[in-house]
Structure 1
Amino acid sequence: MGQRFELQPLSIESYKLRNGLRVVLNHDDAVPVVAVAVYYDVGSRNEREGRTGFAHLFEHMMFQGSENVPKAGHFQYIMKAGGTMNGTTSSERTNYFETVPADQLPLALWLESDRMRSLAVTQENLDNQREAVKEEKRLRYDNQAYGQIFDIVTSMIYQNFANAHSTIGSMEDLDDATVDDVKEFFRVYYAPNNAVLVISGSFDPATARELIETYFGDIPEQPVAPPINVEEPPEVADDYREWNDPHAPLPAFLLGWKIPARRTPEFNALYLAGKLLYDGESSRLYQKLVKGDESVVQLFGFTDERRGPSSILIGAIPKPDQDLSKIRETIMAEIETMSAHGPTSDEMMKLQNQLINDAVRLRQSSMSRAQAIGEYALYDGDPNLINTELDELLSITPDQIRRAVSTYLNTANRSLLDVTPAGKG
């Protein structure tokens, strides 16, 4: 049986403006700061062939100024107010967020509303941000050792274009983008009715409601964004590929499995299995490959959580002259053992303590709370899930983990990318 742990429920108040903007307020006076997070329901999953990279391009465009905010002004206003800020893009969403001293909430809301209302979509801004994205792609993907392997494996796991293409997108597609394309993308996906606004931290709820109505209430609603299909057949698209990485000093490999959507019981069981297999120094594979055999320079594992079919990736960079196939056999043997016997009672106890610790830590940061609440509101339509997710995870049994590993990981239905280093192709 999973253990029970009572966390004080977070205060969650949610409502919707007339223009469709979903608002969630999480009042907590423990620290005199407030976090604001805006989640737009647009990620690489919403892009079509020939127009990839738009969601990520927009993350850059949103800092290029709006009707009342000059280019890069957003950064300057927040930094001068003593705050921090950023934005990120994934397959599932694009988010923008700032943490500011509690008395600066009006500033944060004004800045977010001004760019939702009146982003400066000009040829000049498009040109310079297109170049910024290209430079980012060169630095982080093309010219970095192993920088492309996760995108390549993703394209091997998924068959549906919505799931398979990379978030950073194609440079050719970005070159083909016109100002009209960008304006249309902004109109459809950056509408208030396609967004969630979360405020978490120290604020007066009645004042916050007035500010939100003042700044966001008259931004026009837009027609609903077109629906997308992210369904997948069970089989991976490609089970083997070899790729020559001109920047890699050593060979490497990456394995990928297709698994069910986030927040399903099977996904939760596999997420926990991943923690036991590859997360942290006490995990099975770290103990076997890094501590025990001392055969790898680096071990990595990752659960890619999506609203549709998701994935688990496990890979390694071996030490020079180590046998890659033996390392892979060790990984598959651990998966096979877990699929036969499940986790031990000691592993379950440690895992549950880790989950409780993670949940407590998340609650201590206004920004962590805002982001978790934003995801539940956007993906599930229920921000209150932040108060029940820990119990859901603690209720997963060792046998559920065993069955999920047996069904989804201990199988030949997986993708393997072999990376050969510079000059060894």
Structure 2
Amino acid sequence: MRRASMFLAPLFVCALAILVTQAQTARKINVDYKETTLKNGLRVITVEDHSAPVIAISVNYNVGSRDERKGRTGFAHLFEHMMFQGSENIGKSEQMVMVLNNGGTMNGTTSEDRTVYFEALPSNQLDLLLFLEADRMRSLAITKENLDNQRNAVQEERRSGLDNQPYGKSREIQQALIYDNFAYKHSVIGSMEDLNAASVEDVAEFFKTYYAPNNAVLALVGYFDTKDALAKIAKSFESIPRQPNPPSVDMTEPEQTSERRTSVDDILARAPRVDVAFKAVPGNTTDFYALQVLSATLQGGQSSRLYQKLVKEREMTTNVGGFMDEKRGLGAFYVFATLRPNATTADVEKVIYEEIERLKKEPIADWELQKAKNNTRRSIISGLQSSLSRAITLSQYAVYYNDPGLINTRLDKVSAVTKDDVQRVANKYLRDANRTVVITMPKAKAKGTTAASGQ
């Protein structure tokens, strides 16, 4: 992931106030979006909003690490870096300079399920915004020099963000243990060996296959005239050739029939840590929203059950947390805890499983249900406060679920969760045979050694 640039464009505070008021009264969010598809298959979503003189664009490509093949892991993320190395009419790193010099912000991120690029600029820079995104979609500069440079950058990112981070290897190992299907079994960052094996020919083929207009969603939000903006989008993008649809990804995941467990010795860790995960469900499903509420009850904040039990009452851990991971394919439910010196991993695990059993046998309290829903509502609404966040959200829901309208209905789906739903999903998914456990133990550094080099 590229390092974040300075965010200089103003946020839509007025829009946030409107959304908060809607959530507190009618419990409704209403982002008035328009959708069209260009002749080459590019899907375009627009939201005209004159709250502030700002525009934001999100170009979301339907490609992530799940699309990679064995021997080429890390390729989707490597390619994200390549997209900032210039194109036919834009020099190397010139795009960032042009955006920042005009008072804007820009970045890009890669996940298992998508790769997204985004910018926000003053509203008088719409032509620049469209030119920059269209030029790199049409004519990315694919050279050996750019590839070697960005390969080294990604490898350094792996060293600093994973190999030389406490518990970094544990997260990667747990992901490989949870999943059987290669699509989610490997990390987004990839392996050093696979990154070294990437060739210019690989990059060119990847670009042609996945960075086509018919494999992307463009969302534009902000201060513009919709008719005028759509005409400019068509002029900028419609001449980019459509490509054959990329191959579909097999996302089937076999049912887990027994607990999976391993331990990791970590010379960077300063305390033992317990990581527990349960295979669960794809995002935007009834059970996904119930598991979100369950997660908030079990481990969301200082009033959660695990925090009260492990941190406050028994003083066994310094922290505890977790989340329900949202994926297009099968996501997982995560719990993690870092131990105090007087505790054992076995005792901490025992408390975690006891609290899970309580959720299976007893309905959660009314206040817990309401707190969990309130927290989720706040998260959803705060995620829509700026033009940029709305553009990213609309494009992502279109790519993930073929439903940009989820931006208006997600709150309703959370509100519909009942105490019975929470108890039901606890029994269905948080089973012993369905869990994967990684125990990380600090390891004394051998004399004369340094932190992992990642090589």
In structure 2, the residue matched to 1:336 is 357
Q: Are 2:189 and 1:168 aligned?
A: yes
Whole-angstrom CA distance in 1 between matches of 2:192 and 2:400: 29
1:237 Cα offset (Å): 8.4
In structure 2, the residue matched to 1:282 is 303
Q: Are 2:178 and 1:157 aligned?
A: yes
User: Contact 1:4–1:391 (CA<8 Å) still a contact in 2?
Assistant: no
**Cα–Cα, structure 1 residues 20 and 238, in superposed 2: closer, same or farther, change >3 Å?**
farther
AA aligned opposite 2:394:
I
1:12-38: CA deviation from partner (whole Å, max 9, x where unpaired): 101100000000001222222111101
Q: Are 2:64 and 1:43 aligned?
A: yes
Further displaced range: 185-194 or 287-296: 287-296
User: Contact 2:293–2:373 (CA<8 Å) still a contact in 1?
Assistant: no
1:235-265: CA deviation from partner (whole Å, max 9, x where unpaired): 0787011111121122212111100111111
User: Contact 1:5–1:391 (CA<8 Å) still a contact in 2?
Assistant: no
AA aligned opposite 2:163:
D
> How is 1:162-201 mapped onto 2 (pairs within 5 angstroms)?
162-201=183-222
1:201-230: CA deviation from partner (whole Å, max 9, x where unpaired): 222111210110111110110000011101
Whole-angstrom CA distance in 2 between matches of 1:398 and 1:341: 9
User: Contact 2:134–2:236 (CA<8 Å) still a contact in 1?
Assistant: yes
* Of 275, 280, 286, the match for 1:265: 286
**Cα–Cα, structure 1 residues 300 and 359, in superposed 2: closer, same or farther, change >3 Å?**
closer
- Cα RMSD (Å) of the superposition? 1.7
AA aligned opposite 2:437:
L
* Of 201, 216, 235, the match for 2:237: 216
AA aligned opposite 1:176:
A
Q: Are 2:375 and 1:354 aligned?
A: yes
> How is 1:104-253 mapped onto 2 (pairs within 5 angstroms)?
104-235=125-256, 239-253=260-274
> How is 1:338-417 mapped onto 2 (pairs within 5 angstroms)?
338-417=359-438
1:109 Cα offset (Å): 1.4
- Count of aligned positions: 423
1:164 Cα offset (Å): 0.6
> Percent identical across equivalent pairs?
45
Tell me the secondary structure at the aligned position of residue 302 of structure 1. Answer: strand
**Cα–Cα, structure 1 residues 4 and 148, in superposed 2: closer, same or farther, change >3 Å?**
farther
AA aligned opposite 1:392:
K
**Cα–Cα, structure 1 residues 17 and 5, in superposed 2: closer, same or farther, change >3 Å?**
same
User: Contact 2:46–2:221 (CA<8 Å) still a contact in 1?
Assistant: yes
1:60-102: CA deviation from partner (whole Å, max 9, x where unpaired): 1111111111111111011101111111110000001111111
1:393-414: CA deviation from partner (whole Å, max 9, x where unpaired): 1001110111001110143321
Further displaced range: 195-204 or 229-238: 229-238
Whole-angstrom CA distance in 2 between matches of 1:373 and 1:291: 40
- Output the TM-score relative to the length of structure 2: 0.90
Stretches of structure 2 lacking an aligned partner (at least 5 in a row): 1-23, 447-455
1:282 Cα offset (Å): 2.1
1:338-357: CA deviation from partner (whole Å, max 9, x where unpaired): 11113210111222222333
Whole-angstrom CA distance in 2 between matches of 1:221 and 1:383: 22
In structure 2, the residue matched to 1:296 is 317
User: Contact 1:32–1:201 (CA<8 Å) still a contact in 2?
Assistant: yes
**Cα–Cα, structure 1 residues 238 and 225, in superposed 2: closer, same or farther, change >3 Å?**
farther
Whole-angstrom CA distance in 1 between matches of 2:263 and 2:381: 43
Whole-angstrom CA distance in 2 between matches of 1:419 and 1:353: 34
**Cα–Cα, structure 1 residues 38 and 402, in superposed 2: closer, same or farther, change >3 Å?**
same
Tell me the secondary structure at the aligned position of residue 168 of structure 2. Answer: coil
1:271-329: CA deviation from partner (whole Å, max 9, x where unpaired): 21112112222222122222322321232313221111110111111112312211111
1:335-394: CA deviation from partner (whole Å, max 9, x where unpaired): 111111132101112222223333332332112211211111111212111111110110
**Cα–Cα, structure 1 residues 353 and 313, in superposed 2: closer, same or farther, change >3 Å?**
closer
**Cα–Cα, structure 1 residues 150 and 80, in superposed 2: closer, same or farther, change >3 Å?**
same
1:104 Cα offset (Å): 1.5
Tell me the secondary structure at the aligned position of residue 412 of structure 1. Answer: helix
AA aligned opposite 2:245:
V
**Cα–Cα, structure 1 residues 217 and 82, in superposed 2: closer, same or farther, change >3 Å?**
same
